Structure 1
């Protein structure tokens, strides 16, 4: 694996929480700092199933990847907001089925960069790369990724548990529009998003907790999530609750039946 160098390297900021590191703590990882743990613990005190939600999001990524590399025949993946590597990573799943698969991970947290080179080992037939970039700069991401991915051929873009950290004012819908516009027909968009439909009161409390920790959190209603897929063909079963997206594709998932207040969907560009 090679790490695509960023235009400028930024030091790790341990003065405020970062979503990738909080997520790592949810999943039982150790690549986080006290400020991340503090925010994570606050969220768990509000929603005891927060760690379970994070695990379900990983399971959704795995199921979606199995479908895309299998039935859909996708061999190129762009995973934006990839987070700190946690096995099995997207490239492990894709390359276990199709060793020639090419995967580019993107994240803006230097902590992710620090671990990427040692953890993201791919097959010699394919490619597994990491670039440090902000999701709100899709043009820069596409420019750097085109050294690895051929955008004249289908690419699956994953935006899992990412867009709820980008406000409308910061261009969440513009980001998706620019990414999709650059994709060839046959490409796919994969995303999951925290919902404001399930428990509005507790969701507002979570937003305030994240805000106090210096993190933007933007839960969205179903109609707002549907906007991300405008112009695309949603795959069955459409937009639905995270655990309900093709559970038959799950491997080693241990579910307890708790509702997960996140929407998920996968769509194809015609």
Structure 2
């Protein structure tokens, strides 16, 4: 099984990153993609990916929270990083109108610029959308035929939004959010609607620790070693064999991100 979204640059991992990777490997997590969310974290993500070749890869991009930082210099640096062999996607990019840490205009400008860059470099995009579906689709749609792949990371939207994303050809990333008995029930009911060749799984560690882990870890920190639990639960809710599902999402990740 493959974890397509790990925030391994987060300071919560600063004291034990090597052990985090060892624990994931011990539990059959076959690889992971380290998420870049701004220039600095994209640089760190690339450095970590280079430390663990053929097991870790990274993205390079600017998250909508950091969209106010977008500039010519940032665009040039993201482009340089994105051309490194260990970088397999442009992002995390998109729109987040829930918190608006950057203004909607700043977010839309940075998102459109990164879609253009991904098309120029022929890279898949690793996408974020929260409370912004209509504008997200409007900005993304014109670029889809120019991109080799598009993954909507940490999908938590409605049935209508899922249907539209699937019609446009997006692949869908599911996290431990679906294991939350308070917020994840609607998403559980949508799991069967995702074609198996368009489904990807992720922890989004250190965030979104699955609430139904038993026993519950002493720390609230999520990490890639909990991906097998997410695979198991998603398999139950999709009425599929967990081993088959884990293998399939691994194949999907390697195909979409063009990994060995």
Class of the TM-score when normalised by the shorter of the 2 chains: 0.3 to 0.5
TM-score, normalised on structure 1? 0.35
Structure 1 or 2: larger helix share? 2
TM-score, normalised on structure 2? 0.36
